[in-house]
Amino acid sequence: MRKRPILYFTKRSILERPQRIFLMVIAVSMAVSLLVSMITVAGGMRKRLADELKAYGANAIVSSSEYLGEAVAELLKQKKGVIVIPELYGRLCLSGKGQLPRHQLMLNVIGMPSEAMKELKITGTIPSTREVLIGRRLKEAGGFSQGAELNLSENCDSSSTERFIISGVFERVGPEDSGIIMELHRLQEILGLKGKVSVVLLRISPEDFEDTIQELKSSLPNIEIRPIRQVALSEERLLKKIETLMLIVLIVVVLASVITVAGMMASTIFERLVDIALMKTMGGTSRQIQTFFILEAFIVGVMGSFLGLITGIIAAQAITLSAFHKTVAIPVIVIPVAFFIGITISVLSGIPALKRVTAYRPSIILRGEI
Amino acid sequence: MFFRVLSNFLLNEKKAISIIFFSTVAGTAIIATMLSLSFEIESRIQKELRAFGANIVVEPKVSGLISLAGQPRYLNELDIPKIKTIFWRHNIIGIAPFLETSLEVNVKGQGIKLTGLGTWFEKELPLPDGSFRAGIFSVASWWFIDGRVPKKRECLVGLALAKRLGLKLEDRLRIGNEEFTITGILSTGSREEDMVVMDIEELQRIKNLPHRVSSIWISALTTPMDDFAYKDPATMTPQEYEKWYCTGYVTSIAKQIEEVVRDSSARPVWRVAEAEGNILQRVRLAIYLLSVVTLIASSLGVASTLMTSFLKRTREIGLMKAMGGGRLKISLLLLSGIAVVTTISSIGGFFLSLLLSDFIGLRVFGSGLENRALLLPLSILSGFLMNMAGAMIPLRNVLSVRPAIVLKGAE
C-alpha cells in the first residue's frame, strides 16, 4: 500500500459507507455546534448586557468646585461610545397663592438637554422652552396637574417672574423629586450662567470602563473624572459573574459532549476489525493502516466541523435574537476553534483504539477469535 | 425466551452497551445541569443585581407646598422593624435609614456649616422570629470606607470634603460642644462624599431628634414588572387588586411598606427596578434557549451513537426474523434492551449532574445550586426521549432487512 492506495481506500470507505460516515459527521458536528453557539452567545451576552445596563444611568461624573464650561461636554462627546449629559443645578423661587408662607418657595432646579430627558421616568411630555417638568413630591405637595402654570423667578425679591407650563411629572427618587427640571439653555439664561454647567454625567460602556476613564484623564488633565461607584462597581461585578457562568457552562457542556463523541468514534474502529486484518494480510503495515484511519477521521472531522459551525451560528443567532432582540456579531475566532476542536475530537478519539486494533495478529481476527 | 434474549444482550454485548451507557450518562447529565441552572438562574442573578442598590425609598408623606418649605418632616425609626413583618418580609434583604441635617462644625478653629448624615452601619433588628442584619452595606454595597466604621463620638468624612478641608484619619471635629474623631474617609461617588457621616443615634442625640429619620432605603427581591403591574391600583377590581397585592411587584411591596411606616410615601427607584426586570428576563431567556439547544444537540449525539450500535446488529435481527420473530416482537426486544440501559444511565446522568451543577454554583455564585428531586424524573424522561427518538430511524431500517440477504453476508 503506497500513498495512492491509501487515498483510494479512504475514498471508497467514505463513499460506500454513507450511513456510517453521516452518523460520525453528525456526532462531531453536535459537539462543534454546541461549542460555537456557546462561545458566540457568551461573547455577545457581555455586549448585550452592557447595553441593558445603560438603564442604570451614568457611571462616571465630571465635576469641579466651580462651574464647568459647556465646552468640556463638547470635548467629551467626541470620545466614541460615551454618552454625555451636562447638568446645571440652581435654585428658583416659586411664587404661589394661598398655601405658601409669604406665597413663596425656593425650589431646586436641574437644567439638562432635552434629549437627556428621554431617559427619565416621565408622565407627560418633554418640555419645550416655555415648559417645565415637576418632581413627583412637588406635584403631590402642591396638587399641581399637567398643563397648570408655575411662576418662577431667579430670587424671591425680584418682581419679574416668568410663567412656565407644566408639561409632565418626573420621578428620580431623592431630593430632586421636590424640584423641577427644565431645558439646560433656558436655565442658563434665567440664572445668567451662559455656557456653564455644574456637572457632566458620563455613561461609559462597562466593557472598557477603566481604559476610557484613564484615557479621558490623560487627554483632559484639568478636569476631575470620578466613577459613580454605585453603577460602575456593580456593573463590573455583574458582567464578571455572567462571564464566569458562561465560561464554566461552556467547559462542562463541551467536555461532556466530547466524551460522547469520542466513545462513538472509538467504537467505529472496533467494528472494522476484519477490514484491518484484511489490509494487514495484503501487506499493509500498521503505520499505513493508521494513516488510512486518521485520514478518514480527519475528513469526518472537517465535514463535522463545517456542519457544526453553520448550525452553531444559526442557533446562536436565534438565541440572541429572541433574548435580546438584536443579532450577535460572530467572533472570527470561532471558525478556527470549531475546526480545531472538531478535527481533534475526530482524530484523537480513535487513536488509542487504533493502536490496540493494529497490534492484533490478522489470523486471529480472521478466524473470528476476537 | 424474551428474557433470555434480553439478558443475553445485556450481558454479552458489553462494548455496545457501554458506549450507549456513557453517551446517555453524558447527555442526560448535560441536560439536567442546564435545566437546574435555568431553574435557578433568575434568583441567582437577581441577588447579584441587588448590588445596584436600594429599589424602594421611603420618605415622609407630603401634603401642601408648606410641607416642602417649612420644618423638615421625619419618619419614626421605631416603625422600621415593622417592615420585616409585611406579607413579602422574606423578600426584603436590606434596610438602612438616613437622617440628613445641617451641622455647625468647628474644623481647626474655624466654624463651617456642613451637611450631616446619620445611618445604621451594622444593626441587628430584633424580630418576632429571630433577628435581621440591616445597615448601610445591605443596601449600598459600593460604599467604601478607607478606615473603619465609626462608633460613639466618631464619624466619617466624605472624600470630597476631606480633600477640600484637608482632613485625615484621627483628626478631630468639634460639633456643638463635643469632639468627634474621624475614623475613616468615605467614597461613594455621590452626594455623601460632601458630608460628615456618623451613626444615626449620634446624630439624633446631638441634634435632639430622637428616633427621627429622613428616609429609609430598602432592597427587596421583586417580581419583574409586567403590563398588569403598571396598572393603577386605584382603578383595579377587588380581584385584580388582590392579585396585585399578593404578587411581589416592586410597587405592591412599596405599598405594603407604606402601610406599616406611619406618614410615609414608599416609591420604587424606577431606574433600578426597571433595568433589573429587563436584565433578568433577558438572561433567563438566553439560558433557557441555550438549554434547548443543548437538549437538541445532545439528543443528536446520543442518537447517532445508538444508530451505530443498531446497524451492527443487522445480522442478529436477520436471524430472529428467519426464526419466525414478528416485527413487533423484535422491536419490543430491541427497545427493551435500550430501555434498561437508558434507565440505569439516566440515573447515573442525574447524579453526575448534581456534581456538575454544584461545581457551577460554587464557582460562579459561591454556593451550590439547589438540587431539586424533580430533576431525577426529568433526567430519565430526557434520557428516554433522546434514546427512543434515536432508535426509531435505525429500527425501521433494520426491521426491513431481508434475512436471506443479511445472513448470506451480502449486506
Q: Do A267 and B15 touch (CB under 8 A)?
A: yes
- Given B226, B245, B268, the domain boundary residue is B268
- B311 and B327 in a single domain? The answer is yes
Instruction: For residue B34, list chain A residues with Cβ-Cβ distance below 8 A.
Output: 249, 253
State the pLDDT at residue B74.
Answer: 92
- B91 and B111 in a single domain? The answer is yes
- B182 and B242 in a single domain? The answer is yes
Q: Is residue B411 one of the residues assigned to a domain?
A: no
In a mutagenesis test of the B interface, which of A249, A271, A346 is the best target, namely the one with the most B β-carbons within 10 Å?
A249
- Mean pLDDT value of segment B264-283: 85
The minimum CA-CA distance between B129 and chain A, rounded to whole Å, is 32
- B12 and B64 in a single domain? The answer is no
State the pLDDT at residue A1.
Answer: 46
Q: Is residue B347 one of the residues assigned to a domain?
A: yes
Indicate the pTM of the whole model.
0.78
Angular region, B132: left φ>0, alpha ψ -120 to 50, beta rest: beta
Find residues 77-136 of chain B whose CB sits inside 8 Å of chain A: none
Closest Cβ–Cβ partner in A37, A105, A242 for B68: A105
For residues B7 and B336, the answer to whether their CB atoms sit within 8 Å is no
Burial class (CB in 10 A: 0-12, 13-18, 19+), A282: exposed
The minimum CA-CA distance between B274 and chain A, rounded to whole Å, is 8
Q: Do A53 and B279 touch (CB under 8 A)?
A: yes
Cα–Cα distance between A251 and A253 in angstroms, integer?
6
Q: Do B300 and A26 touch (CB under 8 A)?
A: yes
- B109 and B244 in a single domain? The answer is yes
Cα–Cα distance between B126 and B81 in angstroms, integer?
7
- B131 and B261 in a single domain? The answer is yes
Amino acid at A61: I
Reference A112, options A182, A61, A164, A59; nearest CA is: A182
Pick out chain A residues at pLDDT < 70.
1-4, 96-103, 369-370
Q: Do A19 and B270 touch (CB under 8 A)?
A: no
* Sign, Cα dihedral of A86, A90, A96, A99: positive
State the pLDDT at residue B409.
Answer: 66
The minimum CA-CA distance between A241 and chain B, rounded to whole Å, is 6
3-class SS at B394?
Answer: helix
Q: What is the DSSP letter of B368?
A: P
For residues A320 and B288, the answer to whether their CB atoms sit within 8 Å is no
In a mutagenesis test of the A interface, which of B270, B280, B290 is the best target, namely the one with the most A β-carbons within 10 Å?
B290
A/B interface, count of CB pairs below 8 Å: 225
The minimum CA-CA distance between B239 and chain A, rounded to whole Å, is 27
Instruction: Give the three cell numbers for residue B337.
Output: 434492551
B26 touches chain A (CB under 8 A): yes
Residue of B nearest to A228 (CA): B189
- B256 and B295 in a single domain? The answer is no
For chain B, the domain total comes to: 2
- B251 and B155 in a single domain? The answer is yes
Residue of B nearest to A269 (CA): B308
Cα–Cα distance between A63 and A78 in angstroms, integer?
18
Cα separation values, B301 from A45, A319, B308, Å: 26, 21, 11
- B398 and B383 in a single domain? The answer is yes
Query: How many C-beta atoms lie closer than 10 Å to residue A60's C-beta?
Result: 22
Closest Cβ–Cβ partner in A230, A322, A324 for B142: A230
Overall size of chain B counted in residues: 411
Q: Which residues pair with B197 in a beta bridge?
A: B117, B156
Q: Is residue B277 one of the residues assigned to a domain?
A: no
Q: Do A242 and B360 touch (CB under 8 A)?
A: no
Reference B245, options B263, B270, B262, B228; nearest CA is: B228
Closest Cβ–Cβ partner in A172, A244, A249 for B37: A249
State which H helix or E strand residue A25 sits in: helix A18-53
The minimum CA-CA distance between A307 and chain B, rounded to whole Å, is 12
Cα–Cα distance between B272 and A231 in angstroms, integer?
10
The minimum CA-CA distance between A173 and chain B, rounded to whole Å, is 6
Among B50-59, B314-323, B336-345, name the one with the lowest average pLDDT.
B314-323
Q: Which residues pair with B156 in a beta bridge?
A: B184, B197
Instruction: For residue A180, list chain B residues with Cβ-Cβ distance below 8 A.
Output: none
Q: Is residue B192 one of the residues assigned to a domain?
A: yes
Residues 6+ apart with CB under 8 A from A19: B311
- B121 and B181 in a single domain? The answer is yes
State the pLDDT at residue B135.
Answer: 93
Reference B250, options A153, A121, A130; nearest CA is: A121
State the pLDDT at residue B273.
Answer: 82
Q: Is the ipTM of this complex over 0.85?
A: no
For residues B76 and B212, the answer to whether their CB atoms sit within 8 Å is yes
Over the stretch B207-245, which tens digit does the pLDDT of each residue have? 999 999 999 999 999 888 888 888 888 888 999 999 998
Q: What is the DSSP letter of B153?
A: T
- Long-range contacts: B168-171, Cβ < 8 Å, 24+? none
CA atoms within 13 A on the CB side of B92: 28
Cα–Cα distance between B230 and A111 in angstroms, integer?
29
B311 touches chain A (CB under 8 A): yes
For residues A286 and A9, the answer to whether their CB atoms sit within 8 Å is no
Q: Is residue B273 one of the residues assigned to a domain?
A: no
Over the stretch A42-69, which tens digit does the pLDDT of each residue have? 888 878 888 888 878 888 888 877 888 8
User: What single string gives the DSSP state of each residue in A196-212?
Assistant: EEEEEEEEE-GGGHHHH
For residues A4 and A280, the answer to whether their CB atoms sit within 8 Å is no
Query: How many C-beta atoms lie closer than 10 Å to residue B190's C-beta?
Result: 18
pLDDT at B151 over 80: yes
- Mean pLDDT value of segment B113-135: 90
The minimum CA-CA distance between B256 and chain A, rounded to whole Å, is 18
For residues A354 and A268, the answer to whether their CB atoms sit within 8 Å is no
Cα–Cα distance between A261 and B350 in angstroms, integer?
20
Structural domain containing residue B136: 54-268
Cα–Cα distance between B4 and B277 in angstroms, integer?
59
Cα separation values, A218 from A82, A85, A224, Å: 16, 21, 11
Cα separation values, A331 from A42, A179, A303, A313, Å: 11, 48, 21, 10
The minimum CA-CA distance between B354 and chain A, rounded to whole Å, is 13
Domain boundaries, chain A: 3-51+236-366, 60-227
Q: What is the DSSP letter of B187?
A: E
- Mean pLDDT value of segment B300-305: 74
B401 touches chain A (CB under 8 A): no
Q: Do B311 and A248 touch (CB under 8 A)?
A: no
Q: Do B48 and A237 touch (CB under 8 A)?
A: yes
For residues A324 and A22, the answer to whether their CB atoms sit within 8 Å is no
B285 touches chain A (CB under 8 A): yes
Q: Is residue B374 one of the residues assigned to a domain?
A: yes
- Given B238, B268, B298, the domain boundary residue is B268
Closest Cβ–Cβ partner in B18, B279, B294 for A49: B279
Q: Do A173 and B267 touch (CB under 8 A)?
A: yes
- B220 and B321 in a single domain? The answer is no
Residue of A nearest to B35 (CA): A249
